[in-house]
Structure 1
Amino acid sequence: MTSVRVERLYKVFGPQSAEQVRRLERGADQEDIRAAGATAAVVDASFTVSAGETFVVMGLSGSGKSTLIRMLNGLLTPTSGQVFVDDEDITAMSGKALRAMRQNTMSMVFQHFALFPHRTVLDNAGYALQIRGASKSEIAEKAAEALSLVGLEGWEERYPQQLSGGMRQRVGLARALAAHTDVLLMDEAFSALDPLIKREMQDQLLNLQAKLGKTIIFITHDLNEAMKLGDRIAMMRAGRIVQIGTAEQILNEPADAYVAKFVQDVDRSRVLTAAAIADPRPTATAGSSPDEALALMRRQGADRLFVADGDQRLLGELTAAAAEQARRDGRGDIGSVLTTIADPVSADTPMKNLFSRMSTRAVPVPVVDEQQRLLGVVTPAALFEALSREAQISAADAEPAEIKEASDV
């Protein structure tokens, strides 16, 4: 698998671009650069995308995100800075080497499909392989396989004009998948779709990523889309990356008033997960004595606690009543009086899914990872606190003039 690393990347359009970069490095702002007749589209961008990660670049129109993604595969030449695909610096590649890199390592999915109207769906899906010089049989096999992955099996001989917008976008995605590149660049790939089709494509991408584990860099201006798809999100403003973090980090710890303004209307219950709000409180073990378990409950101010083994795998739940009875019965440990928990919640359970659970039984809910290790518990109080928590930085300080939309660069 392939990683992508960006180091101090700048793109300035206009006269004396290299000099404008030096001015930016010395502290000049966007107004200073515009006064010189230039436009600073990307300013000092640095980040690393790990192999297999979905990294979303989020920003309003004019924030520089489209310029940024076009420098990642050499469609635009940076004014300054470097882009590494694994350890290869693509900013130092020849034109021939760049074309080979695009064919073999990094594919791109465009917003407006970019399909050939005179080619069949199968031919469109196999186009990158044709450019690479693959045999007809290999093109047909891999293109058909990719179309099947995106749900278009049986549509191979149709033409783009016979497909819906969502289906055409699936063909564009299949074309990228058929090339078998490790890295997918997706520039506003779903922005032109109707809301329902857009959600279907987002779900399709999540399912494909779970199977294929590509390194994906996804550009969007839709915050809900960014938070649904991204393992991490980079927030851009006026050419600069102002924050990088998980959806939960950006919601709970916005870097500045601009980011706080952006996230203030997000439905937190759909973004935050059980793991994000779980309290990693101490647990008892099956070998704990009733007295030890009761003392732990008193320290926690609780009438029950969860019990785990030495590897922190969840064994069950112990109530204060059961512990008191075990003590009266003279039991040496609590292992035989535990209540089995049939349905602990997984770490990635959306917070919204916990409301119905707690409405029927308002007690702490255990949160476990894939190995059934106990990560913590979610209490009713923690659930409602997370839902109602406001951003720590007031969005009122954001400057409206810098939040308005403009033509993207």
Structure 2
Amino acid sequence: MTPVLQVTGLTKVFGAREADALRLASEGLGRDEIQRRTGATLAVHDVSFSVGRGELFVIMGLSGSGKSTLVRLLNRLIEPSAGTVEVDGRDLRGLDDEQLRQVRNEKMSMVFQHFALLPHRSVRENAAYALKIRGVGAAEQRERADWALRTVGLLDRAEARPDELSGGMRQRVGLARALAADSEVLLMDEPFSALDPLIRRDMQDLLEQLQSELHKTIVFITHDLNEAMRLGDRILMLKDGRTVQLGTGPEIISAPADDYVADFTSDVDRTRVLTAGDLMREPRMTAHLGDPAADVLRALGTAEANGVYVLDDDGRVVGVARDNLLARALQEGIATLDHRSVVAEHASTTADRPVVDFVHLLGRHPVPLGVVDDDGRLLGVVPRAAVLDALSAVPVRGGAR
């Protein structure tokens, strides 16, 4: 599938001696040395990535890393010095001014850090502004703006002015404006960084909820690693305008590319990043209704286990067969596993649930925590030792462990 957004070799130099700076960058010189020799600033150099449909892609780095320049290169608010940006296979550098305006109006919406609301317009008018610019009819403007405001929980404030709202509410209006525009790609430039911590968490919760429902394609800029780890399907880490590492949150914290990434991730809360799916293992054994009870008991002894998951023919969890109950069943003449020899002594979770939400369930039952799909089918198990190992592991630089 063609990615929604394809970025190849994207580079930006600020300053008069652009060609000299590009040549030195291609020779491997760093930003400071290039600036010393040319007076030009290498803001972004040779950055490449793709964003799939429905992906929440995070670009992160410290102040001065080039992330805000990079996001403005994506919609040509800043002209690149080299490289290409393609939206649905269409190279933005080949567009004239009118075509570029159309792309910005219809394909790529932006949510800014400081809201960028029009103070003299109502909340509803702000939410509908992109539609008004497109020439959409008044009735459709209102319908879509009201849907977006309802989605972010602000329809009851539709007639208010921005200065009547809290910071969190104003950012919700900015998000509603982007949703109402129904653009292919949302560019979010540190949208929550100006908010108080509690409001910021509320906005993160809202974005996660909206993404689970709407599956928008989002490029999200942040300097906060915990925010990046929480929200991002994948994360691009920048330093001095260059890519340092690209991967999922668990990949980055378990195998940092270099010392910079390792130091950056050293304080991250792994319990909120790692999920059951990241730590899932194949179960050492399973059983099924109708299996010979003696064989199951013998297998438990060989595995030095106290219990085993019992599944139906479709792989759904029926319960757990415990060794002592199997032994009693055999004494009572019950030769095969049935509902009389199965108990509900187990706990389960979904693959996307973070460790912090299920750690209290570990080690309480004769079988490891089960990971199941929406239909209750067993996908794997999370042994307590696997969680302890992941939380205590010291990441090794360069991707080895």
Return closer, same or farther for 1:343/1:241 CA change in 2, 3 Å cut-off. Answer: same
Q: Distance in 1 between matches of 2:338 and 2:235?
A: 44
Tell me which amino acid in the other structure corresponds to 1:379.
P
Task: Decide whether the 8 Å contact of 2:114 with 2:191 is kept in 1.
Answer: yes
Q: Distance in 2 between matches of 1:333 and 1:76?
A: 71
Which residue in 2 is equivalent to 1:404?
none
Q: Distance in 2 between matches of 1:386 and 1:131?
A: 51
1:120 Cα deviation (Å)?
A: 1.1
Tell me which amino acid in the other structure corresponds to 1:16.
R
Q: Distance in 2 between matches of 1:91 and 1:288?
A: 65
Tell me which amino acid in the other structure corresponds to 2:318.
L
SS of residue paired to 1:116: coil
Which residue in 2 is equivalent to 1:315?
318
Which residue in 2 is equivalent to 1:3?
4
Task: Decide whether the 8 Å contact of 2:320 with 2:346 is kept in 1.
Answer: no
Task: Decide whether the 8 Å contact of 2:322 with 2:366 is kept in 1.
Answer: no
SS of residue paired to 2:320: strand
Residue deviations 1:220-240 (CA, integer Å, cap 9, x gap): 001111111111111111111
Residue 299 of structure 2 is aligned to residue 306 of structure 1: no
Point out the more displaced range, 27-36 or 178-187. 27-36
Percent sequence identity over matched residues? 48
- Out of 369, 373, 376, the position equivalent to 2:373 is 369
Return closer, same or farther for 1:151/1:330 CA change in 2, 3 Å cut-off. Answer: same
| Gaps in structure 2 of 5+ consecutive residues | none
Tell me which amino acid in the other structure corresponds to 1:84.
E
Residue 109 of structure 2 is aligned to residue 107 of structure 1: yes
1:305 Cα deviation (Å)?
A: 1.9
Task: Decide whether the 8 Å contact of 1:283 with 1:307 is kept in 2.
Answer: no
Return closer, same or farther for 1:71/1:368 CA change in 2, 3 Å cut-off. Answer: same
Q: Distance in 2 between matches of 1:289 and 1:357?
A: 30
Q: Distance in 1 between matches of 2:119 and 2:137?
A: 22
Which residue in 2 is equivalent to 1:241?
243
SS of residue paired to 1:74: coil
SS of residue paired to 1:154: helix
Residue 131 of structure 2 is aligned to residue 129 of structure 1: yes
Task: Decide whether the 8 Å contact of 1:2 with 1:182 is kept in 2.
Answer: no
Task: Decide whether the 8 Å contact of 1:2 with 1:215 is kept in 2.
Answer: no
Residue deviations 1:157-188 (CA, integer Å, cap 9, x gap): 11111111111111111111111112110000
Which residue in 1 is equivalent to 2:155?
153
- Out of 189, 192, 200, the position equivalent to 1:190 is 192
Aligned length: 394
Residue 196 of structure 2 is aligned to residue 171 of structure 1: no
Residue deviations 1:329-350 (CA, integer Å, cap 9, x gap): 5655434422246752111222
Tell me which amino acid in the other structure corresponds to 1:153.
L
Point out the more displaced range, 296-305 or 132-141. 296-305
Residues 67-106 of structure 1 correspond to what in structure 2 (within 5 A)? Answer: 67-106=69-108
Point out the more displaced range, 313-322 or 151-160. 313-322
Which residue in 1 is equivalent to 2:40?
38
Tell me which amino acid in the other structure corresponds to 1:334.
L
| Gaps in structure 1 of 5+ consecutive residues | 395-409
Task: Decide whether the 8 Å contact of 2:108 with 2:184 is kept in 1.
Answer: yes
Q: Distance in 1 between matches of 2:294 and 2:4?
A: 53
Return closer, same or farther for 1:116/1:384 CA change in 2, 3 Å cut-off. Answer: same
Task: Decide whether the 8 Å contact of 2:373 with 2:379 is kept in 1.
Answer: yes
Residue deviations 1:321-369 (CA, integer Å, cap 9, x gap): 2333455556554344222467521112221233332375575211112
Which residue in 2 is equivalent to 1:219?
221
Q: Distance in 1 between matches of 2:138 and 2:260?
A: 52
Compute the TM-score of the two structures, normalised by the length of structure 1: 0.90
Q: Distance in 2 between matches of 1:24 and 1:294?
A: 66
1:130 Cα deviation (Å)?
A: 0.9
Residue deviations 1:283-316 (CA, integer Å, cap 9, x gap): 3231543344345434543222223345543232
Which residue in 2 is equivalent to 1:254?
256
Q: Distance in 2 between matches of 1:132 and 1:341?
A: 59
Tell me which amino acid in the other structure corresponds to 1:52.
G
Which residue in 2 is equivalent to 1:55?
57
Q: Distance in 1 between matches of 2:262 and 2:313?
A: 41
Task: Decide whether the 8 Å contact of 2:3 with 2:51 is kept in 1.
Answer: no
Point out the more displaced range, 194-203 or 84-93. 84-93
RMSD between aligned residues: 2.2
Return closer, same or farther for 1:296/1:278 CA change in 2, 3 Å cut-off. Answer: farther
Q: Distance in 2 between matches of 1:190 and 1:329?
A: 64
Q: Distance in 2 between matches of 1:339 and 1:361?
A: 11
Task: Decide whether the 8 Å contact of 1:362 with 1:380 is kept in 2.
Answer: no
- Out of 331, 334, 337, the position equivalent to 1:334 is 337
Task: Decide whether the 8 Å contact of 1:13 with 1:38 is kept in 2.
Answer: yes
Q: Distance in 2 between matches of 1:356 and 1:193?
A: 31
Which residue in 2 is equivalent to 1:347?
351
Question: RCO greater where, 1 or 2, for CA within 8 Å and sep 6 or more?
Answer: 1
Task: Decide whether the 8 Å contact of 2:307 with 2:366 is kept in 1.
Answer: no
Which residue in 2 is equivalent to 1:400?
none
SS of residue paired to 2:394: coil
Q: Distance in 2 between matches of 1:168 and 1:368?
A: 39
Which residue in 2 is equivalent to 1:390?
394
Return closer, same or farther for 1:311/1:363 CA change in 2, 3 Å cut-off. Answer: closer
Residue deviations 1:219-277 (CA, integer Å, cap 9, x gap): 00011111111111111111112111221111212121111111111111122112222
Point out the more displaced range, 385-394 or 268-277. 385-394
Return closer, same or farther for 1:342/1:320 CA change in 2, 3 Å cut-off. Answer: closer
